[in-house]
Amino acid sequence: MTPILPILAAVLFSGLLYIGRGYWAWVSVLAVGLGAWALSGVDTPVAFAAAAIAALVLALLFGVPAIRRRLITPPIMGLVRSILPRMGETERIALEAGTVWWDGELFSGNPDWRWLLDFKPKPLTERERAFLDGPVEELCRMIDDWRIAQDRDLSPEAWDFMKRERFFGMIVPEEYGGLGFSAIANSAVVVKISSRSVAAGCTVMVPNSLGPAELILHYGTKAQKDHYLGRLARGEEVPCFALTEPHAGSDAASGRATGVVCLGTFDGEEVTGIRLNWQKRYITLAPVATVIGLSFRLLDPDGLLGGEVDRGITCALIPRDLPGIGIGDRHDPMGVAFQNGPTTGTDVFVPLDFIIGGVDGIGQGWRMLMDCLAVGRAISLPALSVAAIELAARTTGAYATVREQFSMPIGRFEGIEEALARIGGHAYMMNAARVLTCGAVDAGEKPAVPSAIVKAYLTESMRACVADAMDILAGAAVCRGPGNNLSRIYTAVPIGITVEGANILTRSLIIFGQGSIRCHPFVQDEMRAIAENDLGRFDAAFFGHLGFVFSNAVRAFGLALTRGRLAKVPGTSSTAPYFRALTRLSAAFALITDTALGTMGGALKRREKISGRLADALAWMYIASAALKRFHDDGHPGSDLPFLRWSCDLALYNIEGALRGVLDNLPNRPAAALVRLLVFPMGARARPPADDLGAEVARGLLDGNEARLRMSADIFVPGAGEDGLGKLETALELVLAAQGIQKKIRDAVRSGDLEATPADTIAERAAAKGIVTADERRQTEEAEKARDAVIEVAAYDTDTYDSLKG
């Protein structure tokens, strides 16, 4: 028996595991090589010498950096250079935008849970709470979403109120006359308003997201800040930001809008400026905007600025009233009546100082947009999604208690229970993810990958759960009218799915594409080293990467065999198993990621189904982390434990399914088989939430239980007499109060002491027979009247129906 194969296997494994960790590497390689020889059973001196020499040579080649960098690293660097995808400047900027936060820990294969639990998200200040309890509540009482749909706009009173109370200046610092709110306060305001009206929510969120105020605040000149920020905060200027074009949607960097540097006349003076031409669409607030934030490619064909002709993507502030601007028309996005429309510009001339940041901002537009989007995506659409899920939880929990079929509340049927569980579980985890990500922003991060995750996966969860809510309310949700508070959110769902990066793109390209480069501990260093032709840096990164791969392989295998028990994690008996499972899957994710990168190279960029599954795994690890963080920060409340367990069980099931999907479809089948053996040696273990657990979550939303209020604590609840949720809350209270009386009547029917029909006189007949008292009769009749009111749907005469809009 020859010792060569065991020697080589041991040497390579040991070498790759320890390479890059100093000169002790060669010692380990030599020791393991000789150990393999000893175990081979061959004891001849020649075999021993061969083993020793082979081990020594490999130890020197791989273990001594000076030798390795001269003989081994250059051809490896050339090979890696040839398989890496080509990357343009705009793509590089997009991938490098923002900062790495908790997502980096999840990519590491060994997340530091104690760090996450010790992280303290910024709470709302007293001033922010006062705004939520004061002006925001007042605005919500002022607006009528059904009326907005019919009038196709918010009322003039609502517009004036929002401007006066500085709703458009939440992100503008107080020194400029704005509110200077935190990200979590901005999000909380959008949640509450959106739960009342999606149109109003969109109107408020856009000026406080990616747009002129945000760009001026971070990149504007002092003159631009002094001129615009106060006016924007007070609503004297209404902003929009024009990015999307007919030929540049998801590929926004390919826009055809141009600005040509030239001489021209502005306000009677000849100045160096820009002649702009653009055609933009889907621009929120454009029809009513007074100032347009414009993205365009700046060209300098006459060399007036010196340097290159193509100066790159640039952003400028364009007053609406300049000659050549076309603006005012409206799109109709799913009938949701927020202001949205196209804008065009033909030979619009502006001075150079209209560029955001002045001449220093030339060519910096794409970087500005990507950095701001890393923050804005964390706030607006996740807040809208949480508004929708909390409204769904509040509404369905009450309706499924009040509405009866087959002589029992519909919430007692397992089919309804299943949908209620999905709504309740998602409400818990979605709000947890919203709060955690806003906490990162308030801590000074620009969490590009987490913000993409919450934008895409919270809006997708909104889509699924609002559909569940529609199923539960059935005809009451289908028939539009003043009392239907679900249909307009249901209609608006595709808007959230599409804007700020369509979810298909975000999932398949952005989350994993950006994450695999920014969050991975070595990939970005490898790419930069190749771009700069830095052999030493590449050597350190590449062999460090190999050590990372093999250490994760060992960890993933050990954690899989022991169900994560080798992992040191925090938590209680209720939460520690989830921390262990996520640690195990983080190691599996890191290994599978490196396997995909190593076997597919640049081709992975085009294999969007595989990168999309890797994004799924990363996203659900993040969402589960947020749910565990919420449970910890709330003090481990026992009443929330079913919601946490449901959230984590679903997340673990989705993570494992995504990773198995990658291995099932990885083109390199031997690599896939080997990695599958390491990460899933015992096969699939994760299961979706059990039926009994789902029943427990659903019951938390029924019968007026406290959990329904906790899962909907951030939304606006209208007064008792108002159509929709207001009347539903009243009916719930009355029906619950009359439950004991109703039981007396049902018992009398079962015993034969009372006829079940006619149903509309049963309380009267029960009182006549002394089964219930007169007061109890009045109470149950009142409850039945309230029940009928919320079951009733709107009906219209022909003329009224013909006049309906939206």
Q: What is the DSSP pairing of strand 325-327 with strand 340-351?
A: antiparallel
Would you say the C-alpha torsion 107, 113, 119, 120 has a positive or negative sign? Answer: positive
269 burial via Cβ count (<10 Å: 0-12, 13-18, 19+): exposed
The angle subtended at Cα 15 by Cα 9 and Cα 19, nearest 5°, is 160
3-state secondary structure of 769: coil
Percentage helix, strand, coil for the chain under 3-state DSSP, each rounded to 5: 65, 10, 25
Q: HSE-up of 201 (CA within 13 Å, CB side)?
A: 31
Q: Which two tokens stand for residue 794?
A: 């709107």
Give whole-number Cα distances, 718 to 98, 554, 707, in Å.
39, 56, 19
Give whole-number Cα distances, 531 to 25, 80, 98, 510, 523, in Å.
28, 11, 21, 22, 12
| Residues carrying an active site annotation | 500
Q: Which residues is 201 bridged to in the sheet? A: none
Give whole-number Cα distances, 140 to 107, 122, 189, 480, 588, in Å.
42, 25, 11, 20, 47
Distance of CA 230 to the CA centre of its chain: 31
Main-chain dihedrals φ then ψ at residue 790, nearest 5 degrees: -85, -20
Alpha-carbon gap, residue 64 to 514, rounded angstroms: 33
> Which residue type, as a one-letter code, is found at position 221?
T
Kindly report the number of other CB atoms within 10 A of residue 18's CB atom: 23
Q: Which two tokens stand for residue 228?
A: 């615009």
